[in-house]
Amino acid sequence: MLTHHSLQFLRNLNQNNNREWFQANRQDYDKTKVEFENTCQEILNGISQFQPNLLNTTVKSCLLRINRDIRFSNDKSPYKKYIAAGFGPGGKSSGFVDYYLQIQPGESFLGGGMWSPTPTQLTNFRQEIDYNPQHLKGIIENSLFRDYYKEIHGEKVKKMPKGYPIDHPEIELLKYKQLFFVHRYSDEDVTHPNFANEVIEGCKILKPYLDYINEIFFGQTD
């Protein structure tokens, strides 16, 4: 499980984001990494029970590197302020729309959904809404789903997408060019012994929406 040690390490890293400090505190990072790996292994084991295509996925393949890619960034801080994992078949680089978990003091969350679709994928998404809006609405307006994922996140276009009338009954859904969901966790949630099970339940609730998106984008569920 994750402990207050891991959250404190991330707080300290945020205040001392340089290689000299990181190397001097490498043991604390290693402990944090082990705690996160163990937590992610529990989560992966749980998700695999309702998503069998994750059964052969290793936890190491799900973990994101803590090092930042600073080549094209004005911010030259070498490390991320968080630790994170992507849970998909084969790991974080599955190519599907998968579950994403980020741990950061005061800002931890589980999320997933349509983040950066290609133009073709976005067109297909809008066509599906136009053809059968009740499929998507039946998922995201379900009471269990809405209790856990309380709002839709994502950018919208200001004008109606080309090819759709301005008085379309699903105008607001059609305007989305991103559509994803997030559930946030407090630091107390993250360090609770039941945290892994809480994330597993969150993934189970999110799964119908991810299946919906993966079917539209790739012709198959994740």
Tell me: pLDDT of 76 over 70: yes
Q: Which residue has the higher pLDDT, 74 or 170?
A: 170
Q: What is the mean pLDDT of residues 24-47?
A: 98
Quote the percentage of the chain above a pLDDT of 70: 99
Least confident of 67-76, 84-93, 111-120, 128-137: 67-76
**E strand or H helix that includes residue 102:** strand 99-103
Q: Residue 113: left if φ>0, alpha if ψ -120 to 50, beta else—which one?
A: left
CA distance 214 to 221: 5
Pairing between β-strand 179-185 and β-strand 99-103 as defined by DSSP bridges: unpaired
> pLDDT band at 111, cuts 50/70/90?
very high
Radius of gyration of the chain (CA): 19
CA distance 30 to 45: 22
Tell me: pLDDT of 203 over 80: yes
3-state SS assignment for residue 89: coil
**E strand or H helix that includes residue 39:** helix 26-48
pLDDT of 204 reads 98
pLDDT of 74 reads 86
pLDDT of 222 reads 58
Q: What is the dihedral of CA 121, 123, 124, 130, to 10 degrees?
A: 150
CA distance 120 to 165: 20
Query: Residue 141 has which token pair?
Result: 């307006």
pLDDT of 156 reads 96
pLDDT of 93 reads 95
Closest CA to 186 of 108, 123, 70, 129: 108
Tell me: pLDDT of 220 over 80: no
pLDDT of 71 reads 83
User: Which residue ranges make up each domain of the chain?
Assistant: 4-218
CA distance 3 to 26: 17
Tell me: pLDDT of 221 over 70: no
pLDDT of 75 reads 86
Q: What is the mean pLDDT of residues 90-96?
A: 95
User: Tens digit of pLDDT for each residue in 129-163?
Assistant: 999 999 999 999 999 999 999 999 999 999 889 99
Q: Evaluate if pTM is beyond 0.85.
A: yes
